Amino acid sequence: MIFRRDRFGELVERQLDLFASETDLLEEATDADAAWTNAAADETEELYGDFQLVVDAIGERLYDIRETYVSTLEPGTADQYRAAFDRSARKRFGRYASFLKEER
């Protein structure tokens, strides 16, 4: 049996590692999530909005990373890369990568 190696797997993992190490957004999201989750009922709506802003910023940054690299690829190859990036980003960052799902 021949196992096919993911063509972009290593590249995407390096890109996601770099993103995670160079941003404070993931920590901000964790803090914002805890703030709205633990807030009094009359504060949750505003704090959830703050959390969602951070989640959107993470998603937009992941999108920018992906599309910057896509701009260097041929159309068919770009689709393969996008799929690999989206799969890895969703696996690693879960709901913080939801922007990638909506973009397609």
Q: What is the pLDDT of residues 9-43, one digit of tens each?
A: 999 999 999 999 999 999 999 999 999 999 999 99
Q: Are the C-beta atoms of residues 99 and 60 closer than 8 Å to each other?
A: yes
- For residue 28, being part of any structural domain is answered with yes
Q: What is the pLDDT of residue 5?
A: 59
Q: Is 0.75 surpassed by the pTM of this model?
A: yes
- For residue 32, being part of any structural domain is answered with yes
Q: Number of structural domains, the chain?
A: 1
Q: What is the pLDDT of residue 52?
A: 94
Q: Which domain holds residue 17?
A: 9-103
CB contact set of 59 (below 8 Å; sequence gap of 6+): 96, 97, 98, 99, 100
- For residue 21, being part of any structural domain is answered with yes
Phi, psi torsion values for 5, nearest 5 degrees = -80, 140
